[in-house]
Amino acid sequence: MKILVCISSVPDTTSKINFTDGDTKFDTSGVQFVINPNDEFGLTRAMWFKEKQGAAVHIATVGEAGVEPTMRKALAIGADEGIRVNAVPTDGYFVAGQLAEIVKKGEYDLVIGGRESIDYNGGMVPGILASMLGMNFVNTCIGLEIEGDKATAIREIDGGKETVKADLPLVIGGQKGLVEESDLKIPNMRGIMMARKKALNVVDPVDATQATEDVSFDKPAPKGQVKMVESVDELVDLLHNEAKVI
């Protein structure tokens, strides 16, 4: 089985978010970049398939050279080789267009993306990619088993979960649940050393549609002071008469 894990390089979850250039760009200064958490669950699941059932695991990222440390971390976790599309990931449509080219060329059986990235939160790349290629797609995937060319996936739905069956080739939008957080792999020294020797191929972008453009950004209005209350009577009164939520 040949698996492609799509990796997004995102600001660490604790990063402060600021904007520059007249609030038109995300301010990356001082920001630590990491593997998108939803992608990390998918990467670990891919490593599980590699270890238990035998699979070649490649990773792909659309980004300029600055994303390579994040990709090296994914290689240190155990992915076999990486492909970087040398382009600024302008929107989900454009990224899906780039990845579609890689999937077509690489003839992957399984493509794992995250449910969404924790920066732009578009949540569309795996679905658009699958549709572009005519591949089956399961979103918000919290469980995945594969036997031969048949997949059984569990996806999270509002208020519960759903089990679905689909043939490979398959694209999933994965998240926590694909593996437990305690099972996430941390690169060890041997992995880090080996990752240095693994192929990280850089390819030029293909022509692809950019369907949307983030014109400007702003931040939520500063929060007012918390109102500390002494009793539940006072709280219920405030929720009813002031906040008007009950």
Partner 1 sequence: MSILVYTESENGKFKKNALEVASYAKAVADQMAASVTAISFNASENESLGTYGVSKVLNVSNDTLKTFNAEAYAKAIAEAAEKEGAKVVVVSSSANSKFLAPILAAKLKAGYVPNVVEAPDSTEPFKVKRTAFSNKGFAHTAIKTDIKIVGVSTNAFGLKEDQTDASVADFSPELKEDDFSVESVEVDKVAGKVSIADAEIVVSGGRGLKGPENWEMIEELADVLGAATACSKPVSDMGWRPHAEHVGQTGKPVAANLYLAIGISGAIQHLAGVSASKTKVVINNDPEAPFFKAADYGIVGDAFEVVPKLTEKLKEFKAENE
Binders of partner 1 among 48-87, rule CB under 8 A? none
- 224 counts as binding partner 1 under rule CB under 8 A: yes
Whole-number Å distance between alpha carbons of 148 and 50: 14
Whole-number Å distance between alpha carbons of 131 and 42: 20
- The nearest distance, CB 101 to partner 1, in angstroms, is 15
- The nearest distance, CB 201 to partner 1, in angstroms, is 26
The residues, ordered by sequence, that sit 6+ positions from 21 with a Cβ below 8 Å of its Cβ are none
What 3-state DSSP class applies to 229? coil
Task: Identify which of residues 143 and 191 has a Cβ nearer to partner 1 in the complex.
Answer: 143
- 104 counts as binding partner 1 under rule CB under 8 A: no
Q: Residue count at the site for partner 1 (CB under 8 A)?
A: 81
Task: Identify which of residues 150 and 196 has a Cβ nearer to partner 1 in the complex.
Answer: 150
Instruction: Give which of 165, 161, 162, 120 is closest to 145, Cα–Cα.
Output: 165
Tokens of 152: 């059984």
User: Phi and psi (nearest 5°) for 210?
Assistant: -105, 110
Q: Tell which positions 14-43 bind partner 1, by CB under 8 A.
A: 14, 17, 19, 26, 37-38
Using the contact rule CB under 8 A, the part of the chain among 62-70, 73-81, 198-206, 230-238 near partner 1 is 230-238
Whole-number Å distance between alpha carbons of 67 and 212: 22
- 136 counts as binding partner 1 under rule CB under 8 A: yes
CA angle 80–180–198, rounded 5-degree value? 10
- The nearest distance, CB 133 to partner 1, in angstroms, is 9
Q: Tell which positions 140-169 bind partner 1, by CB under 8 A.
A: 140, 142, 152, 155-167
Which residues make beta-bridge pairs with 25? 20
Task: Identify which of residues 207 and 213 has a Cβ nearer to partner 1 in the complex.
Answer: 213
